[in-house]
Chains A and B, each alone.
Chain A
Amino acid sequence: MTFINYASREINCKIVYYGPGLCGKTTNLQFIYDSTAAQARGKLISLATEADRTLFFDFMPLELGTVRGFKTRFHLYTVPGQVFYEASRKLILKGVDGVVFVADSQEERMDANIESLRNLEENLRAYGYELMKLPYVLQLNKRDLPNVIATGELTSELQRKGEPVIEAVASTGAGVFDTLKAVAKQVLTELRKA
């Protein structure tokens, strides 16, 4: 939920990266963290297992700049992708302003993408949100791998409402900032309507 503080002249928004296990949600955040000037971002907090899989969430605050005298801050979160972390995954969506669905483009992960997308819609509904009304971007990640499904086919299967679809290779950073920009713009545009 967007927080507007007139005293500190700040606007804070929450963006959640969602998707199946190992699709590259944490890699997106890691790339943003590595490529952003230290004064524009806070620490990257990662609550991960010993095997480096997200256990609860990753978090990093990012300051984009000033609009109308207000600092715009985005709090970026990832959810744990593994199916059995359903309870904690749902908690992260509370108060979300925008969602990025990171799809794994590999053929063998198609079912996992579909299941995770369905799970996202269900969990949003539990908080009174509708994916169709929420700022939302579909990222097709891992486009550099050999066994990927064609973009058109993935899009027709996963796109829900004409949301921006961005091809990405999060490990090299391709498409990562385009994705962030696409969702952040929608969140700010939504604020205009509020």
Chain B
Amino acid sequence: MSCAESLRRQSIGWTAPPDFSASSIQSIEPADMPNTPIVILEAQFHHIKALLARLRLDSAARLVVLVDKDGQQIAVHGDLGDLDTTSLASLAAGNVAATGGMAKLIGENEFPTLSHEGEKESIHICVIGRVLLLVVFDDRSSLGLVKLRSKQLLHELAKVFNAIEQDSAAASANSSLPFSGITDEEIDSLFSPA
């Protein structure tokens, strides 16, 4: 950075944005335990919902969705209408996986943000470790505002997911998952005609 640029940034109170790249929050990647279920407790879920509600308001977005990188929808907040958010989550994960594959081919680890701008509706996606923050917005907002507000939320979401990862591993180790004591009869009952 040039000296002039440095001075200009100091004078307008600019601070370097925190590093939200995948490498900086790798602790929430479950590479060493691919089969551990992810458990979200009620309080954690409500915390996530509150964060999404704040982002929706601050960014004047239509909808905010949090999606696992495997395509599972974790939480959603906003104007759903008849939008199929399950399909949206699965396609967003596929989209991020595909662009992540392209990133690796050109020597990048991944592309931490993706934006798709339509005529009326647009989508902005941020990769936060193992989850994706997806914001759907229209002309009442702008890509710049959505990007800024999303970025401001990333650290908080990463913290919540660190806690979720740790709690999930502990729940799994203590056999305190809801299915730990399930019987064969209970499993069979799912497949019996009603």
Contact = CB atoms under 8 A, between A and B. Distances in A.
Are A and B co-members of a single complex?
yes
Interface of A: 1-8, 11-12, 14, 42-43, 45, 47, 56-57, 59, 61, 64-65, 67-70, 72, 75, 77, 87-88, 91-92, 94-95, 127-129, 133, 181, 184-185, 188-192, 194
A42 B89 CA distance: 12
B91 A45 contact: yes
A67 B190 contact: yes
Nearest to B192: A65
Given A4-B178, A43-B87, A92-B94, 14 more contacts: A1-B36, A3-B72, A4-B39, A6-B41, A11-B179, A14-B70, A42-B84, A45-B90, A67-B182, A68-B182, A91-B97, A95-B71, A191-B177, A194-B175
Contacts of A4: 37-40, 177-178
Contacts of A188: 179, 182, 187, 190
B79 to A, nearest CB: 19
A54 to B, nearest CB: 12
Interface string B156-194: 000000000000000010010111111010111111000
A12 B98 CA distance: 22
B5 interface: no
A47 B97 contact: no
Contacts of A6: 39-42, 45, 178
Given A67-B189, A129-B34, A91 B71 contact: no
Contacts of A91: 94, 97-98, 100-101
B6 interface: no
Given A45-B90, A68-B179, A1 B35 contact: yes
Interface string B72-114: 1010000000001011001100100110110000000000000
Contact of B69 (A45, A68, A94, A194): A94
